[in-house]
């Protein structure tokens, strides 16, 4: 007899939170013309990143520094906090899995938003915990309702993304602080700030807001354009950050990733220019929606949520029709949010293709 899966593993679906564009391309037998669905930074990383990686290529026979020392020191200097308050990991996704493993016992309760980031839910299920979900408030995660659920349920952990994925909305820092201050000391708050560089001033609490029961998650995948390198970091209390050493993959951040992230962090001028490009692209996506008699949510991220004007089934047909025309986008799946499609910002040439394909996709979806 072959080895048996654990009872927990047997109870889990054999699936992943997202079907990648590569999988879709293989299934469809053709490549996408515009890759606007994964909230990657199509404007690319700083040219200094490629130069640094090329210069370091002869050293790729070495493992990466298991302490991530240079990158941690540089992040601490950039943020104005202590190196011991930073844990580097394989993107926010990897850090979320470690955080759940560290702070959530099997069978414990975790509070999150219904329709929020599905990879977090994937990790909660994977470690045998139970999700309690709170509905969105319109197109916003609801921090007051999350806090009320926390006070009632007494969970091990609560997750809140600001700015939000998939709706691109955000709350000002004072509302976030009300959640931070209200969460009991024995509940771990995960504050996902993956899109923070794109948000309006006053969205993120000051960086020195650090609590023993809070982990703030940030990434090089979005504004810095390094999604393929898998590098994120958690900010938190020294003792909580030190706990990651108990479970992390100490060689999980490759030497090349360390080189790339360090070069990206040093080029803040390129980051500022990228943020401007995203702002211009958001404005263009708003106009494209309006030209098609649709409405778009004001975005605090590098993507725009466009209301397709009907229900979730219609929005799904629009997404599929765009895919047939070579345009990769995604959409929320939760009722109440599912009548939107989500379009990532990207280079003008790809947005041109989206603008050209959208009217035909809407027309075909309406006739289906």
Model pLDDT, residue 91: 97
Is pLDDT at 228 greater than 90 in this prediction? yes
Model pLDDT, residue 17: 77
Our measurement of the distance from residue 308's CA atom to the centroid of its chain's CA atoms, rounded to an integer in Å, reads: 23
Mean pLDDT (whole number) for 130-134 = 98
User: Across the chain, how many H-helices and E-strands are there?
Assistant: 13, 12
d(CA 214, CA 69): 23
Is pLDDT at 205 greater than 90 in this prediction? yes
d(CA 182, CA 122): 26
Model pLDDT, residue 368: 73
Model pLDDT, residue 273: 98
Provide CB contacts within 8 A for 294, sequence distance 6+: 306, 307, 308, 309, 362
d(CA 349, CA 351): 6
- How many other C-beta atoms lie within 10 A of the C-beta of residue 234? 24
Mean pLDDT (whole number) for 336-355 = 98
The string of pLDDT tens digits covering residues 102-130 is 999 999 999 999 999 999 999 999 999 99
The string of pLDDT tens digits covering residues 278-309 is 999 999 999 999 999 999 999 999 999 999 99
Which strand ranges, in their side-by-side order, compose the sheet holding 232-236?
Answer: 86-89, 232-236, 214-219, 188-192, 157-161, 109-113, 130-134
Is pLDDT at 152 greater than 80 in this prediction? yes
Is pLDDT at 225 greater than 90 in this prediction? yes
**Average model confidence (pLDDT) for the chain?**
97
Residue 237 and residue 208 in contact, taking contact as beta carbons nearer than 8 Å: no
Three-state secondary structure call for residue 275: helix
d(CA 252, CA 74): 19
Strands 109-113 and 157-161: parallel
- Enumerate domains of the chain plus CATH numbers: 7-44+269-367 (3.90.1150.10), 47-267 (3.40.640.10)
Is pLDDT at 15 greater than 90 in this prediction? no
Residue 140 and residue 119 in contact, taking contact as beta carbons nearer than 8 Å: no
Mean pLDDT (whole number) for 255-280 = 98
The fraction of the chain above a pLDDT of 90, given in percent, is 97
The secondary structure element, H or E, covering residue 35 is strand 34-35
The fraction of the chain above a pLDDT of 70, given in percent, is 100
Is pLDDT at 168 greater than 80 in this prediction? yes
Comparing 14-28, 101-115, 241-255, the range with the smallest average pLDDT is: 14-28
Model pLDDT, residue 220: 98
Model pLDDT, residue 1: 82
Considering only CA atoms, which of 99, 113, 109 is closest in space to residue 129?
109
The tally of CA atoms less than 13 A away on the side-chain side of residue 258 is 24
Model pLDDT, residue 18: 80
């Amino acid at each position: 007899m072959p080895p048996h899966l654990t009872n927990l593993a047997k109870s889990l679906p054999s699936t992943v939170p997202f079907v990648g564009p590569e999988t879709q391309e293989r299934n469809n037998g053709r490549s996408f013309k515009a890759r606007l669905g994964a909230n990657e930074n199509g404007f690319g990383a700083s040219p200094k990143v490629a130069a640094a990686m090329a210069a370091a290529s002869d050293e790729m026979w070495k493992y990466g520094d298991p302490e991530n020392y240079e990158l941690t020191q540089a992040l601490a200097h950039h943020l104005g906090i202590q190196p011991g308050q930073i844990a580097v990991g394989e993107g926010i996704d990897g850090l979320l899995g470690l955080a759940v493993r560290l702070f959530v016992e099997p069978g414990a309760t975790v509070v999150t938003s219904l329709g929020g980031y599905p990879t977090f839910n994937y990790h909660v299920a994977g470690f045998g915990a139970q999700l309690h979900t709170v509905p969105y408030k319109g197109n916003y995660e609801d921090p007051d309702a999350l806090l009320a659920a926390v006070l009632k349920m007494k969970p091990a952990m609560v997750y809140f993304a600001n700015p939000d994925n998939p709706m691109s909305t955000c709350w000002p820092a004072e509302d976030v602080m009300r959640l931070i201050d209200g969460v009991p000391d024995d509940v771990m708050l995960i504050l996902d700030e993956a899109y923070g560089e794109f948000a309006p001033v006053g969205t993120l609490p000051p960086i020195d807001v650090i609590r023993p029961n809070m982990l703030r998650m940030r990434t090089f995948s979005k504004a810095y354009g390094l999604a393929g390198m898998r590098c994120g970091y958690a900010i938190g209390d020294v003792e909580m950050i030190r706990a990651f050493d108990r479970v992390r993959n100490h060689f999980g951040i490759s030497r090349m990733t360390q080189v790339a992230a360090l070069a990206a962090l040093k080029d803040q001028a390129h980051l500022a220019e990228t943020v401007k490009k995203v702002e211009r692209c958001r404005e263009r996506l708003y106009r494209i929606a309006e030209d098609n008699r649709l409405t778009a949510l004001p975005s605090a991220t590098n993507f725009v949520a466009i209301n397709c004007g009907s229900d979730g089934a219609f929005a799904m047909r629009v997404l599929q029709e765009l895919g047939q025309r070579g345009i990769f986008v995604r959409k929320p799946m939760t009722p109440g949010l599912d009548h939107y499609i989500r379009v990532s910002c990207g280079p003008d040439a790809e947005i041109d293709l989206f603008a050209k394909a959208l009217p035909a996709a809407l027309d075909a979806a309406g006739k289906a």
